Structure 1
Amino acid sequence: MSCRFPRAVLSLLCLVLAAPAIASPDATLAELPLEALLDLPVSGASRLGTRRSDSPASVTVIDRQQIEALGLRRLSDVLRLVRGIDISSDGSYSYAAVRGMSSAGDYNTRVLLLIDGNRVNDNVFDQAMLGTEFVLDLSQVERVEFIAGPGSAVYGANALFGVINVVTRASGASGVRGGLRLSHGAAVDTWVSLDTALAGGHLALGASLQHDRGEAVQEAWFGTGQAEGTARLARQSWSARWETTGWRMNLMSSRRSQGTPAGPDIVFGDTRARFVDSTLLVDVERRLVLDERLDGLVRAFAGRYRFLGDYPIDYPPVTLNRDYADGDWWGLEGRLLWSPTASHRVVVGAELQRQQRQWQYNADVQPAPLLYLDDLQRGWRWGVYVDDQWSPADDWTLHAGVRLDRELGRAHTSPRLALVWRAAPEWTWRWQHGRAFREPNAYERRYHGDGPGSWQLNPALHGEQVRADEIGIDWSRGAWRAAAAAYRNQADGLTVLHYDPATERYQVRNLGALGTQGIEAEVEALSGADRYRLQLGLNRTLRSTQWPGALTYPQRLLGAQAQWQLGERSLLAVDALARSRRGDAAGHLLLHARLSLRSEDRQWQLALGVRNLANRRWYDPGPDAVRQPLVRGEARQFWLEWSWEPSR
């Protein structure tokens, strides 16, 4: 499909979304939790916590009501609603390109993923897992925060272009809730959770199971026929949280097996091709009240990530090649929150993480075993930081922070300075400057092999640095909220996966300076029980060196969502996404919709949804601009869902 990004699309969507809200500007505002909906609290922008309008950075919050209304079941689909983020997929993993920055071979290493403010990127790939490989089920999530810009001053490595903070649901009334979704093609997705009192505290348990045989795949680059059943998916996850006064304990686990029907060197349609990801996370947290102005927190954590990849390769003869990656880590964290006055708060903290195991293995297993890689690494990373929030006057707040990290024998200093001015009750201005860093991960530094299609080591590989400036403005009045930001990023040494056709080998390399600049805006409105959102992003890449990923980020992004209450018990939600060309992938417009009906007692609901309503033929940029430039996107899919929640 060839599709430009016409101005008429922008105008039409703006009018469709704005008209209903203008018709009845504040019909039932007294009944709506406006502060909760339009000025949500955010906990990922700093260790201090603040409301979105007072945050030192641009923040987008997608809450549970929006997630449920649109029927979203993947974290990547939630992030697609965020201004400045472009989500793509290669059929196995989901990737987030932020503010003009995207790169082949990058497993979301330049965004930091948090759950309840705690790092969950693994220690082999530094991967932020955003698709079906994400460790939690979305039914356990209260809201998703995206904090744009560098966050290393608060969280250390990987927070180059943004921080994703997934906030889990708070302990509520005892009971069981769950759901079942059936999609055409025999796909089944089910989830259940239990909240109950236990041992003087509160216990929350959750589990989910998903099975999908996948769409039939046809890839012009790898085969002329259709591959049936090669994109199969099997996923299960479970979680447990127990909390009482001052204590919280978490345990999360997931396993996913995902078929991969096509790829460079993979025999097209071979059902043995697959990826298997398993994650285990555990932490124990103790909160302390030391006196009326001083609070403390101590946390111990551990994690494990396992990866297995099977690749049927046509050498010939057809050979089954197998990848393993094994990551284990544990660590300690402590911080003190001091509030000398009502207008001044300071956090001082330290983190220590032991890279207990970073093992990578690659070998042929059929028809004859042959070892290529068996590499085991260990190490330490630590950081100390201070985050200061001071309001010298009622309408001014200064945010200042700095963090010192040491990793791979190198030290990094990451400062951040932000100024927030509440010019009027409806208007808030902010300015932010910050720096962030990332050292090459174990995969980039140590993965290699022999023969065509393999990786070469790069002894000269070094870390990445980003400097960023942003000016933002927030406005809110009654049932309306609007926000806009202008930004400029300057990156140095970003890594990219380079393919050399002459040697048929890959190598991770550092690039020189690269800059991006752009403007983002969003509007939210409430009208009675109806809700509307519109987000726009315009971006331009300033290249001083060749950047293969520069053209795979859309220069124009437009998203729109609307929810209409149809009677007392039914809700219609519509989601639209329009984006301009991304490399070889033409621009397109996608529409999704969901219609739900609640029972009279509001404890269960039935929903019918459809993705890609117009059944557009569309593509994402492929993982390899030379050998796989495009990956076909999802075709139209209908689904039926039944869910229940006694506390609705």
Structure 2
Amino acid sequence: MNMRQPLYYLIALMVSGLSFTGQVIAETEFADLESSLDDEELLFGEIPSVFSASKYEQKVTEAPARISIVTADEIQRYAHRTLIDVLNTLPGFQTSYDRTYSYIGARGFGVPGDFNTRILMLVDGHRINENIYDGVLADRGFVVDIDLIDRVEVVRGPASSLYGSSAFFGVINVITKRGRDLQGAEISAAAGSQSSYRGRISYGERFDNGFELLLSASGYDSDGNDQLYYAEFDGPASNNGIAENADDANNRNLYAKLSYGDFTLSGVYEEYEKGIPTASYETIFNDSRTRTWEGHAYLDLKYQHLMGNGADVTARLFYDDSWYNGDWTYDYADPGDPPDEVVFKEEADGDWWGAEAQVTQELFENHRLTLGTEYRNNLREKQYNYDIYDVYQDLDTDSYTWAAYLQDEFRIRDGLILNLGLRYDYFSTVGSTINPRAAVIWTPYEPTTLKLLYGTAFRAPNSYELHFHDGGIAQKAPDGLDPETIETYELILEQRLNVSLNLVASVYHNNIEDLLALTTDPADDLLVFENSGDATAMGSELELQGQWENGWSGSVSYSYQQAENASGERLVNSPSNMAKLNLIAPLAGDDFSAGLELQYESGRKTLSGDETDGRVITNTTLFSRNWIQGLKVSASIYNLFDENYANPGFEEHAQDQIEQDGRTFRLKFDYAL
């Protein structure tokens, strides 16, 4: 199929739909719809507001981006275990799991070797992407327990005009709960397949003097799959391709948030350990010594004050520490010699502090101006790897970045907004860059909004990509790297069909230059990061969202995406078609419901040129609350029909495809004391 055909069809549908809507509303129905909107609730109660698109609160229909919001209520009714579960329900997102990490792909891009560097991840506005790999753990190792999430704001498209590096395909801002959301102590326990157990204890309170407190501690332990079969290792010397007891995982998390007046102090400590059953990077197969440990801790002090003249002033001061340790077991012996098993050790330690300041001010009645500046000092970017024979890398660098940005929301007239933004970033490692964003947001009729967007973004090569090597065992350092850039055009239609239904349609075109990717150098068969060339993606997304007064709610979406390199070849790990259904059905009022998720994907191209099979994943949950006062219970089955499916392996894997989990279950209890 020509990749442009679905885009043309959707553009035509959007334009004709807009014309039809205008005609119908103008003739007969606008008054009826307006009246019904006065008398009944809109979708989700009212038009939702979002903060992350412009760094101030605004209606979703006025935000210069395609927005998705997932609430705490949806997270618990669908029994999402991780942020990856949340993203799997949204149009335009696909994820991968190689039994070590989970990777976020967006709008057709799931580049091998990408530790989620092209999505900027925030927690309450605090940047989570660390300073060595520029990555973030989005599964069990996420810095905040999923039960503490109030909502997740997902902003699609380039956002470097506000956020700088890594806001490449989008921004995900996790907004946490406040003490008032708990009003006391809460305990949680869960058990499930693969001997998986999870526990949490939290306390939250808002006191009469305005002081607010939230404290939480949680942990997770899992044996993982007892046995995993990989045909690439099927032989007597490697246990006939069966990895045994090598898939375990555990996580520990501490979180605190204190608020008083205009100040909020947040602190996080998180650590995560994972066994690696795939023998990646040419390690010994079926050796449970191969594993990783990593963690992240930070303190964040935020000040926000509304001045008497209407100026909204925000300032932030933060300090972060991240660490990583990897044990990789190799056999250094030559063929025919006795085994020489050696544990190769990797260590990485990153420390950084920074400050941000921003002011937003209404000017001349029709302008909302935002000015901001940021500074980040990477105090330590240490990478150290060694074995019993030698030290192969002992690198301890530092760097800094600073930035300034400006955005103007200009209300030309009622129903017409022009949004312009520009940001300058300077990196001590790779120099400076300037990134603009422009949006025209037109609401010709009250239920209809049309957005025309343009933006650019960049991602600077991180310390790992620039410098890492292991002495020639599996990976070498590149000679030099340039930042990768993206330029995006997007057209969005947001149409409120009635008091219960909302339609969102979008088409986009992405141009990427100097794409950074982990590749294999044919000259020496070593892995190396390189600017692998240019790429393009064209796609469309269609989503119908619904919420009814009887308690039913959900969405259905379809995404078409075609991502190609400069030679016109389809990109690896990129499904062309995705369809998703999310449905919450009340069974006995609001306190007892069933949740259903259907997730279809077409096949993904693998590194060998093969293709994975398409898949349909079905998840279902029964959720109940207050059948005992204060108690919430959920019972879930994931991959209900035990679909057999796989994701592509990456350059570091011998496996061309990595099989995913079959049917699993979880039972979870939450009790408010």
1:22 paired residue number: none
TM-score (normalizing by structure 1): 0.91
Distance 1:587 1:313 in 2: 35
2:307 paired residue number: 290
Distance 2:540 2:341 in 1: 50
Distance 1:154 1:328 in 2: 23
* Gaps in structure 2 of 5+ consecutive residues: 1-32, 235-239, 334-339, 606-610
Distance 2:627 2:580 in 1: 33
Distance 1:384 1:374 in 2: 34
1:196-595 matched pairs, under 5 angstroms: 196-197=205-206, 200-215=210-225, 216-223=227-234, 224-264=240-280, 265-316=282-333, 317-364=340-387, 368-407=388-427, 408-453=429-474, 455-476=475-496, 477-500=498-521, 503-527=524-548, 528-545=550-567, 550-568=571-589, 569-583=591-605, 584-595=611-622
1:10 paired residue number: none
Distance 2:382 2:656 in 1: 30
Distance 2:588 2:228 in 1: 41
What SS is found at the alignment partner of 1:76? helix
Distance 2:46 2:87 in 1: 18
* AA of the residue aligned to 2:54: S
The question of whether the paired residues in 2 share the 8 Å contact of 1:135 and 1:254 is answered with: yes
The question of whether the paired residues in 1 share the 8 Å contact of 2:233 and 2:241 is answered with: no
Distance 1:351 1:182 in 2: 43
2:108 is aligned with 1:89: no
Structure (1/2) with the larger strand percentage = 1
2:638 paired residue number: 611
What SS is found at the alignment partner of 1:217? strand
* AA of the residue aligned to 1:320: V
Deviation at 1:458, TM superposition (A): 1.7
* AA of the residue aligned to 2:639: N
Distance 1:465 1:447 in 2: 22
- Change beyond 3 A, Cα 1:31–1:203: farther
The question of whether the paired residues in 2 share the 8 Å contact of 1:69 and 1:594 is answered with: yes
Distance 2:307 2:119 in 1: 34
* AA of the residue aligned to 1:275: T
Distance 1:431 1:499 in 2: 40
Once the two structures are superposed, residues 578-615 of structure 1 have per-residue CA deviations (whole angstroms, 9 ceiling, x without a partner) of 00011132111110101123234652122211011011
The question of whether the paired residues in 2 share the 8 Å contact of 1:222 and 1:262 is answered with: no
1:19 paired residue number: none
Deviation at 1:501, TM superposition (A): 5.1
Deviation at 1:37, TM superposition (A): 5.4
The question of whether the paired residues in 1 share the 8 Å contact of 2:311 and 2:362 is answered with: yes
Deviation at 1:422, TM superposition (A): 0.6
Q: What is the aligned counterpart of 2:73 among 51, 65, 68?
A: 65
What SS is found at the alignment partner of 2:465? helix
Q: Is 314-323 or 610-619 further displaced after alignment?
A: 314-323
Deviation at 1:253, TM superposition (A): 1.1
2:27 paired residue number: none
The question of whether the paired residues in 1 share the 8 Å contact of 2:297 and 2:322 is answered with: yes
* AA of the residue aligned to 1:247: F
The question of whether the paired residues in 1 share the 8 Å contact of 2:329 and 2:341 is answered with: yes
2:28 paired residue number: none
The question of whether the paired residues in 2 share the 8 Å contact of 1:402 and 1:416 is answered with: yes
The question of whether the paired residues in 1 share the 8 Å contact of 2:161 and 2:435 is answered with: yes
Deviation at 1:504, TM superposition (A): 2.4
Q: Is 535-544 or 32-41 further displaced after alignment?
A: 32-41
What SS is found at the alignment partner of 1:68? helix
Deviation at 1:571, TM superposition (A): 0.8
What SS is found at the alignment partner of 2:572? helix
1:194 paired residue number: 203
2:170 is aligned with 1:147: no
2:121 is aligned with 1:121: no
Q: What is the aligned counterpart of 2:109 among 86, 101, 115?
A: 101
What SS is found at the alignment partner of 1:418? strand
Distance 1:370 1:136 in 2: 38
Q: Is 87-96 or 174-183 further displaced after alignment?
A: 174-183
The question of whether the paired residues in 1 share the 8 Å contact of 2:43 and 2:500 is answered with: no
**Higher RCO (CA 8 Å, separation ≥ 6 residues):** 1
Deviation at 1:511, TM superposition (A): 2.4
What SS is found at the alignment partner of 2:85? helix
Identical columns (%) = 25
The question of whether the paired residues in 1 share the 8 Å contact of 2:581 and 2:599 is answered with: yes
* AA of the residue aligned to 2:403: G
* Gaps in structure 1 of 5+ consecutive residues: 1-24
1:183 paired residue number: 192
Distance 2:304 2:400 in 1: 25
Distance 2:258 2:357 in 1: 20
What SS is found at the alignment partner of 2:242? coil
Once the two structures are superposed, residues 456-494 of structure 1 have per-residue CA deviations (whole angstroms, 9 ceiling, x without a partner) of 222231111111000001011201011011000001001
* AA of the residue aligned to 2:250: A
What SS is found at the alignment partner of 1:132? coil
Distance 1:578 1:242 in 2: 42
Distance 2:176 2:159 in 1: 21
The question of whether the paired residues in 1 share the 8 Å contact of 2:43 and 2:501 is answered with: no
Distance 1:602 1:411 in 2: 57
Distance 1:531 1:29 in 2: 18
Distance 1:34 1:138 in 2: 27
Once the two structures are superposed, residues 538-560 of structure 1 have per-residue CA deviations (whole angstroms, 9 ceiling, x without a partner) of 0112432477x813110001111
Distance 2:653 2:140 in 1: 27
Distance 2:136 2:191 in 1: 28
TM-score (normalizing by structure 2): 0.88
Deviation at 1:451, TM superposition (A): 3.2
- Change beyond 3 A, Cα 1:462–1:638: same
* AA of the residue aligned to 2:345: R
* AA of the residue aligned to 2:660: G
Distance 2:39 2:462 in 1: 50
Deviation at 1:374, TM superposition (A): 0.7
The question of whether the paired residues in 1 share the 8 Å contact of 2:466 and 2:481 is answered with: yes
* AA of the residue aligned to 1:517: M
What SS is found at the alignment partner of 2:232? coil
The question of whether the paired residues in 1 share the 8 Å contact of 2:232 and 2:241 is answered with: no
Deviation at 1:32, TM superposition (A): 8.1
Distance 2:389 2:39 in 1: 68
Distance 1:59 1:143 in 2: 13
* AA of the residue aligned to 1:392: I
1:20 paired residue number: none
**Aligned pairs, number:** 615
Q: Is 581-590 or 410-419 further displaced after alignment?
A: 581-590
Deviation at 1:414, TM superposition (A): 0.5
Q: What is the aligned counterpart of 1:134 among 131, 134, 142?
A: 142
* AA of the residue aligned to 2:494: D
Distance 2:443 2:103 in 1: 36
